[in-house]
């Protein structure tokens, strides 16, 4: 895999790209494509989260689990879909909570690039998936890579907000220095669990209050 990744990320992650597990990911995806399988997101978007949110500008992380596995949805940003695609159910609930928390209007667009360009890393634990096969690439090595990403952020950055929703995201707590960073946890925004503690969590206002207290610009959570 020819990794085209933003320069500040390349500087802190280069050692990962040289490891055997990463070579194994590359080989697996090449073999799957050779078999005629469809992989999401399209190749140029595998590292879209990193290319849209440089390491040097990162101040908040929203961790997802798996890319969308239906056509035209995944574009390398967790919870986000390209312009023109309706917001999926979890994202619709994220918008509802922002409306509850901050009073912002509920957007029509599901494209979260406006957040990413403000320093919000929209990271999925797996960066690829086979079409119509959820979690199909969760065991090919991506979790080793994205765990290393979380550890690198924790170690090399100061004052980052981590939003961890659901039990899978909370399992990454061990990789984050609680003394340096703000960690906010809640239920997952999925319709199956949003009423068990996601709605009312006020993570968006809490994150902004903490950023401002630490001399950083707040996130504009508006999507236009």
Give the closest residue to 187 by CA, choosing from 59, 67, 90, 100.
Answer: 90
Catalytic: which of 66, 101, 177, 220? 66
The rounded distance, in Å, linking the Cα atoms of 124 and 135 is 11
- Half-sphere exposure of residue 183: CA atoms within 13 angstroms, side-chain side: 18
Which stretches of the chain are assigned E, i.e. beta strand?
Answer: 39-40, 60-64, 120-124, 129-130, 161-165, 182-186
The rounded distance, in Å, linking the Cα atoms of 78 and 157 is 21
Distances (CA, A) of 68 to 16, 19, 31, 165, 187: 25, 27, 21, 17, 19
Instruction: For residue 147, count CB atoms less than 10 angstroms from its CB and return exposed for 0-12, middle for 13-18, buried for 19 or more.
Output: middle
List strands edge to edge, sheet with 182-186: 120-124, 60-64, 161-165, 182-186
Query: What 8-state DSSP symbol labels residue 165?
Result: E
Q: Is 66 a catalytic residue?
A: yes
Provide the annotated active-site residues.
66
């Amino acid at each position: 895999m020819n990794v085209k990744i933003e320069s500040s990320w390349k500087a802190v992650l280069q050692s990962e790209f040289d490891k055997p597990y990463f070579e194994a990911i590359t080989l697996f995806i090449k073999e799957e494509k050779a078999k005629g399988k469809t992989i999401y997101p399209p190749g140029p978007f595998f590292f879209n989260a990193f290319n849209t949110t440089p390491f040097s500008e990162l101040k908040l992380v929203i961790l997802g689990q798996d890319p969308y596995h239906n056509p035209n949805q995944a574009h390398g940003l967790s919870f986000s879909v390209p312009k023109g695609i309706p917001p999926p159910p979890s994202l619709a609930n994220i918008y509802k909570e922002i409306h509850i928390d901050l009073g912002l209007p509920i957007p029509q667009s599901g494209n979260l690039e406006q957040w990413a360009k403000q320093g919000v890393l929209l990271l999925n634990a797996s960066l690829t998936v086979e079409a119509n096969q959820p979690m199909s690439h969760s065991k090919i090595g991506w979790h080793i890579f994205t765990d290393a990403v979380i550890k690198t952020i924790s170690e090399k950055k100061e004052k980052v907000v981590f939003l961890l929703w659901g039990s899978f995201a909370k399992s990454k707590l061990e990789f984050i220095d609680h003394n340096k960073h703000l960690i906010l946890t809640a239920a997952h925004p999925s319709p199956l669990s949003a009423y068990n503690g996601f709605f009312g969590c006020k993570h968006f206002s809490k994150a902004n209050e903490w950023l401002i207290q630490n001399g950083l610009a707040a996130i504009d959570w508006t999507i236009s």
